[in-house]
Amino acid sequence: MNAWTEKPVHRFLKRAMDISAALLVILLASPLLLVTVVLVRWRLGSPILFRQTRPGLGAKPFSIAKFRTMRDAVDGDGNPLPDDVRLTKFGKLLRKLSIDELPQLWNVLKGEMSLVGPRPLRMHYVERYNARQARRMDMRPGITGWAQIKGRNSISWEEKFEFDGYYIENFSIWLDIKILFLTVVKVFKVEGISQGGQATMKEFMGTDES
């Protein structure tokens, strides 16, 4: 048990902070959002948003939204080429500055995500989680989280899940505020965008507990 499960007031305060902060960021960033929409349409075409089904609270599927960063490119059989081939210089810039994540503020307003929480991963990863890793779905997934400020995509999956576990077990509003502040610092330092030799991260295949 932790503060998240034991104290409903913490869940209320977290949700209130999500709504108020998301609305404020959307308002302040509206010029940037508009410019990004135009540039994505010009450089990459339609659709402007990339959408993908991810597991949310209690593993309930939802459609995550990001600004598109990859071009449509397929092999002779019609299969998408590797991410590092499809990812453009413009897309790398959006990822480097985390601008591609801004449409997820809409997911936050809809109650599908939180500003802070474990990042929502692929649906097929759910069956690969061990019991501790599966606890990440006890909370709404976040735009940023403890694992993101501790290394983002440059750390291993096992380290990432350990940081997620720490966050869930030590949740507090003050920890959320700390993570949001450190996220801004991390974005300006442009750290941990990808694993070495990868566009983002290698696929998670499960943790060997033998």
Q: Where are the domains of the chain?
A: 3-189
pLDDT tens digits for 80-133? 766 777 888 999 899 888 899 999 999 999 999 999 999 999 999 999 999 989
Q: Which amino acid is at 21?
A: A
Backbone angles phi, psi at 192, to 5 degrees: 65, 30
Q: Which amino acid is at 181?
A: F
Q: How many residues does the chain have?
A: 210
pTM > 0.95 = no
Q: How far apart are CA 113 and CA 201, in angstroms?
A: 21
Run of H or E including 50: strand 49-55
Contact 50, 72 (CB under 8 A): no
pLDDT tens digits for 7-37? 778 888 999 999 999 999 999 999 999 999 9
